[in-house]
């Protein structure tokens, strides 16, 4: 089961705007994402990372190519609620309490109140914010709001968690802490994570594999296996292999200074 690919992206291109003079955001992208893995996508701004994620989640249709999500078309997968999505901003509803925000997806499917509350409480325990259940998003820090946003995305028990630069707007300290929390949550739920980031250390710290994209029109430049032992901790950064991998990802991004 470990190497069964959960998401298959085959020769996908995406063109925005009119056929003649629009923007070619992605060109001929192919990628297989395995069930249960933590895969990061890294690349310069505007290379089409968000576009790729949106196509997996069926928020956008590809111009060419084929995407299969858990054996279904993206549309069928969305209707089956296979993907939970987390954006860069927490996107919480300010008129709903924290618990009610997490319950929203379950309300949409018409789950009974008792079941919703039970699930919300379990998720709040998972992110260790149970005591904030009755608070409103405006009363939470940016990091806590993001945690709630992640918990909400898990409400359906989706097979896949699509995360578009979720920690990009957070300070470095919060970012590291939420990274650790996310790994913890990933271990407990075994959800497959597709994680977009700008940060090379973050990608290396968290992932099983890192897909490096080229500038627009985006292509997958390289896919690097991050063979660092798990569970990862602060000590992971003391390993020489960690620094080697950082260098390799940076090289694939064309960031290393020429010798």
Ligand X SMILES: Nc1ncnc2c1ncn2[C@@H]1O[C@H](COP(=O)(O)OP(=O)(O)O)[C@@H](O)[C@H]1O
* Part in contact with another protein (CB under 8 A); list of ranges 20-28, 90-98, 185-193, 246-254: 90-98
From Mg ion, another protein, ligand X, none, which one binds at residue 222 (CB under 5 to 8 Å depending on kind)? Answer: none
| 157 lies in the binding site for another protein (CB under 8 A) | no
Determine the Cα–Cα distance for residues 85 and 58; give it in Å rounded to an integer.
11
Pairing of strands 160-164, 83-86: parallel
Smallest distance from ligand X to CB 14, Å? 8
Q: Quote the CA–CA distance of 60 and 14 in Å, as a whole number.
A: 9
Query: Packing angle between helix 113-126 and helix 98-108, nearest 10 degrees?
Result: 130
81 is an interface residue for another protein by CB under 8 A: yes
Does 100 interact with another protein (rule: CB under 8 A)?
yes
Kindly list the strands in the beta sheet with 23-34, ordered across the sheet, starting from the edge strand earlier in the chain.
23-34, 5-16, 64-69
Tokens of 197: 């980031």
Single residue of 13, 40, 51, 207 touching ligand X by CB under 6 A: 51
Burial class (CB within 10 angstroms; exposed 0-12, middle 13-18, buried 19+) of 257: exposed
Residue 42: HSE in the Cβ half-sphere, 13 Å Cα cutoff: 30
Instruction: Give the residue, chosen from 29, 40, 49, 56, that forms a contact with ligand X under the rule CB under 6 A.
Output: 49
Q: Is 17 in the site for ligand X (CB under 6 A)?
A: yes
Positions that interact with ligand X (CB under 6 A)? 16-17, 23, 25, 43, 45-51, 216
Positions that interact with another protein (CB under 8 A)? 54, 57-59, 78-79, 81, 83-85, 87, 89, 91, 93, 95-97, 100, 104-105, 107-109, 136, 156
């Amino acid at each position: 089961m470990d190497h069964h690919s959960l998401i298959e992206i085959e020769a996908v291109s995406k063109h925005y705007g009119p056929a003649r003079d629009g923007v070619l955001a992605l060109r001929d992208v192919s990628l297989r994402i395995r069930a249960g893995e933590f895969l990061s996508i890294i690349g310069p701004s505007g290379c089409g990372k968000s576009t790729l994620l949106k196509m997996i989640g069926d928020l956008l249709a590809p111009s060419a190519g084929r995407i299969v999500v858990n054996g279904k078309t993206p549309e069928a997968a969305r209707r089956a609620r296979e993907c939970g999505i987390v954006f860069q901003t927490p996107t919480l509803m300010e008129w709903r309490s924290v618990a009610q925000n997490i319950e929203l997806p379950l309300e949409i499917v018409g789950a009974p109140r008792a079941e919703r509350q039970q699930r919300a409480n379990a998720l709040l325990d998972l992110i260790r914010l149970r005591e904030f259940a009755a608070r409103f998003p405006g009363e939470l820090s940016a990091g806590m709001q993001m945690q709630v946003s992640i918990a909400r995305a898990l409400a359906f028990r989706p097979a896949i968690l699509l995360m578009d630069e979720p920690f990009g707007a957070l300070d470095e300290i919060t970012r590291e802490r939420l990274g650790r929390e996310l790994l913890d949550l990933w271990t407990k739920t075994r959800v497959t994570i597709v994680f977009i980031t700008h940060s090379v250390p973050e990608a290396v710290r968290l992932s099983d594999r890192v897909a490096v994209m080229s500038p627009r029109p985006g292509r997958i430049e390289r896919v690097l296996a991050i063979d660092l032992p798990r569970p990862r901790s602060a000590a992971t950064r003391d390993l020489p292999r960690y620094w080697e991998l950082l260098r390799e990802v940076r090289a694939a991004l064309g960031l290393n200074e020429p010798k």
